[in-house]
């Protein structure tokens, strides 16, 4: 089954404790991206990757890092999480740049 | 830059009512337009799309027509069901780069039996 898998689904952490949210897709897609969803703000893109070893900033990249060492994986790294990064995070993949993105089920992160 | 504006809601309707969710956009060039749906506790799923002016996207009884003259892509359904309760996102893609999708803020739809 074609899917995008994120882990964990829920995470509560403390300020400053490094964390990684994993994302994996089994569709051999070149393009992957991370979004955060906040009430009243919709979805905003954090980072995206056109292919292996090619990543770039989206609209709200501050406080986040990503890597793309393999085509299927695109982890989101928060080196020093802060409470304003409490949000619902989605990973997405596409076979090319842009449309028809396939989304993961989301990771709800709470930073206290 | 690109932007999408949609009514935020919540929009509350009775079952079998007619649904319209408005969406307008600002973009350079000729974007592709999308509606995504997010059911409770799930990720976003593509509902329908249109890639050029006057195209009509349709799926699961929902329809939207790409209106270039009014820069709109309103979502409609003739008779909604309780199972249509979800958050609906209008989005566009301008292409020509790697900017991804630009989303509206989402419209929370609640259908009451």
Q: What is the pLDDT of residues B31-59, one digit of tens each?
A: 999 999 999 888 899 999 999 999 999 99
Residue A99: closest C-alpha in chain B: B93
Inspect the interface and report whether the beta carbons of A97 and B100 lie closer than 8 Å: yes
Closest CB to A42 among B93, B95, B106:
B106
Q: What confidence tier does A96 reach under pLDDT thresholds 50, 70, 90?
A: low
DSSP category for residue A92? E
Average pLDDT on B61-70 reads: 96
Sign of CA dihedral B42, B27, B29, A45: negative
The residue written with tokens 């350079």 in the block is: B28
pLDDT digits (tens, 9 = 90+) for A16-65: 999 999 999 999 998 899 999 998 888 899 999 988 999 999 889 999 99
Q: Of the candidates B81, B82, B57, which has an alpha carbon nearest to the alpha carbon of residue B67?
A: B57
On whether the CB atoms of residues A70 and A23 are closer than 8 A, the answer is no
Q: In what order do the strands lie in the sheet with A19-25?
A: A4-7, A19-25, A76-78, A65-66
**Is B33 within 8 Å of B50 (Cβ atoms)?**
yes
Overall size of chain A counted in residues: 112
* A100 vs B: CB within 8 A: yes
3-state secondary structure of B5: strand
* B89–A contact, CB cutoff 8 A: yes
Set of chain A residues whose Cβ sits within 8 Å of the Cβ of B8: 40
Mutate which of B25, B44, B88 to test chain A, going by most A C-beta atoms within 10 A?
Answer: B44
B46 touches chain A (CB under 8 A): yes
Which pairs from B53-60 meet CB under 8 Å and 24+ separation? B57/B33
């Amino acid at each position: 089954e074609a899917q995008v898998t994120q882990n964990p689904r829920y995470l509560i952490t403390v300020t400053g404790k490094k964390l990684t949210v994993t994302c994996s897709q089994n569709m051999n897609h070149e393009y992957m991206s991370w979004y955060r969803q906040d009430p009243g703000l919709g979805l905003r893109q954090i980072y995206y990757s056109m292919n292996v070893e090619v990543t770039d900033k989206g609209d709200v990249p501050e406080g986040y890092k990503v890597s793309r060492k393999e085509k299927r994986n695109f982890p989101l790294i928060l080196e020093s999480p802060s409470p304003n990064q409490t949000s619902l995070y989605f990973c997405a993949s596409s076979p090319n740049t842009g449309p028809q993105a396939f989304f993961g089920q989301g990771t709800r992160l709470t930073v206290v | 830059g690109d932007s999408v504006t949609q009514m935020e809601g919540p929009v509350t309707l009775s079952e079998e009512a007619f649904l319209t969710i408005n969406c307008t956009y600002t973009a350079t060039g000729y974007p592709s337009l999308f509606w995504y749906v997010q059911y409770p506790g799930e990720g976003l799923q593509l509902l329908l799309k249109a890639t050029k002016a006057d195209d009509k996207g349709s799926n699961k009884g929902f329809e939207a027509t790409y209106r270039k003259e009014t820069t709109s892509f309103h979502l409609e359904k003739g008779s909604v069901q309780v199972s249509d309760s979800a958050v609906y996102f209008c989005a566009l893609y301008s292409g020509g780069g790697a900017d991804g999708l630009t989303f509206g803020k989402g419209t929370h739809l609640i259908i009451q039996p």
